[in-house]
Chains A and B, each alone.
Chain A
Amino acid sequence: MRADLIERYKAGDRMNHWLVAILFVLLALSGLALFHPAMFWLTNLFGGGPWTRILHPFLGVVMFVAFAWLAIKFWHHNVIEPRDRQWMKQWRDVMANREDRLPEVGRYNAGQKVLFWVMVACMIVLLLTGIVIWQPYFAPSFSVTTLRIAVLLHAFAAFVLILGIIVHIYAAIWVKGTVRAMTRGTVTRRWARKHHPAWVRQIEGGEGLGIIEILTNG
């Protein structure tokens, strides 16, 4: 690996991420198809209305399992720290690319951490309510009131998750040099120092920094 690169995601983590991402797209499309009449045409992508209804929950279970694996591996990186609260208070600086004014960021910034926990919460709600409304296997064993609550929560959690993913995708487009972390597995040291200085210090052990500085910057 080139000296100016740092590994951010191992091959397994990257494949896991993209498996969840692909399943999310399929689930969002098939879910939105039944969410509003204007979107019903999306059922054509899945072989029609009944096939959309049949496939959606199975894809959902696979996504949950794949996501759970990812979430367990990244859980400890996403614990909210005091400096994260300060970061969130300065969201205007975040939006305006004034990173120099923000508290030092570790492996993940507060926005990434919040998104992580929102996704965890949404996935759990989607799985549980999805099982309740799953025709024809589980729905017949629940009361009508339970079904009503479940369909409402399912739609709400999906709404929050889709909004969260729109933000997630935009953030990757906005912060240049980010996408390669998930495609190639590496980021440049300059990128890491700019966006995640505490993380860089941690992996470099705080030593030899001066040497790397000279190496990377000539």
Chain B
Amino acid sequence: MPLQSLDITRRSATTTQPPSARETTSVAKLIDISKCIGCKACQSACMEWNDLRDAVGDNTGTYDNPRDLTENSWTVMRFFEVEPNGKLEWLIRKDGCMHCADPGCLKACPAPGAIVQYSNGIVDFHEENCIGCGYCVTGCPFNVPRISKKDSKAYKCTLCSDRVSVGLEPACIKTCPTGALVFGSKDDMVHHAEERIADLKERGYQQAGLYNPAGVGGTHVMYVLQHADKPELYGLPKDPQISPLVSLWKGVTKPLALIAFGLAALGSFFHYVKVGPNEVDDEDTAVDAKARAKEEL
């Protein structure tokens, strides 16, 4: 829940430019999966900073706990046991909002100001404007937003917009013990990722690379992947983009539909003005009577 802001790039269900006088540096979180040990300190830090407590879950035979993102767990570690090159690898990915440059949730949202995007790239939910329709769930290419069963509002990672706005790093970054999580300007993070990728390539991960998918305009949460050619190994979509179904639903078709309603009403009125009403007049009755008289003969 951020403070009133003058650096809003986009605002949901708003067709005019929101306040955007302030320009802030584009920021990014970089998650280096090759350095993650799956300690879940980031999960704890997220809960602690945001005052969230999820219900105690159940064990499903994996380390995933909670099993999925929820309204109270804005980030979760997902564990994958894979054998990409005939060799067992344990890949651990910190899942959560990707903070897309082209956010599908914001595009789908019908409530003005329930979702905003700041000029630093953070996509934030303003729950006091949320109506609980769940459209953001349909818009998200990464299946991140969760609707609370308690208050029917949508929740997800804020990238600690409150901390970032006062010059602090997100809580998860602050707590990460291995340096797998780093935060800074997006340019710096891309540069840092390049160094990490060069290092990984040297160590035999020829397909190492940065996950910053262009299909959603790039993201403000990026991953260094050992196997960037196979993001599915980490449970990530290969080429995420706003679904064409959502674009069709929320694109140019809606204003066109409104215009069609207007034209139908206007066309009807003009038809009345031009052709006039269809009335029963004396002439009709006369014709009718004549025809009937003929029939009877």
Contacts and interface: CB of A to CB of B under 8 A. Distances in A.
Contacts, number: 135
Nearest to B149: A136
Given A36-B258, A39-B258, 18 more contacts: A49-B131, A50-B132, A136-B132, A140-B147, A144-B140, A144-B143, A145-B243, A147-B134, A148-B245, A148-B249, A151-B138, A155-B257, A163-B264, A173-B277, A174-B271, A210-B296, A213-B292, A217-B285
B85 interface: no
A147 B138 contact: yes
Interface in B123-177: 129, 131-135, 137-138, 140, 143, 147, 149, 152
A173 B272 contact: yes
B289 A213 contact: yes
Contact of B261 (A96, A149, A163, A210): A163
Interface residues of B, number: 48
B254 A53 contact: no
B133 A135 contact: yes
Contacts of B135: 151
A209 B292 contact: yes
Interface of A (DSSP majority class): helix
29 contacts: A34-B131, A35-B257, A36-B255, A36-B258, A37-B14, A38-B15, A40-B111, A43-B131, A49-B111, A49-B129, A49-B131, A53-B132, A53-B133, A139-B137, A145-B245, A151-B138, A155-B254, A170-B268, A170-B271, A170-B272, A173-B268, A173-B272, A173-B277, A174-B278, A175-B277, A190-B285, A194-B284, A209-B292, A213-B292
A138 B74 CA distance: 23
Contacts of B287: 100
A105 B35 CA distance: 79
A88 interface: no
Contacts of A188: 280
Contacts of B278: 97, 99, 174-176, 195
A217 B264 CA distance: 39
Contacts of A191: 280
A193 interface: yes
B112 interface: yes
Nearest to A34: B110
Contact of B249 (A99, A139, A151, A190): A151
Contact of A152 (B248, B275, B276): B248
Interface string A159-196: 10011001100100111110000000000101101110
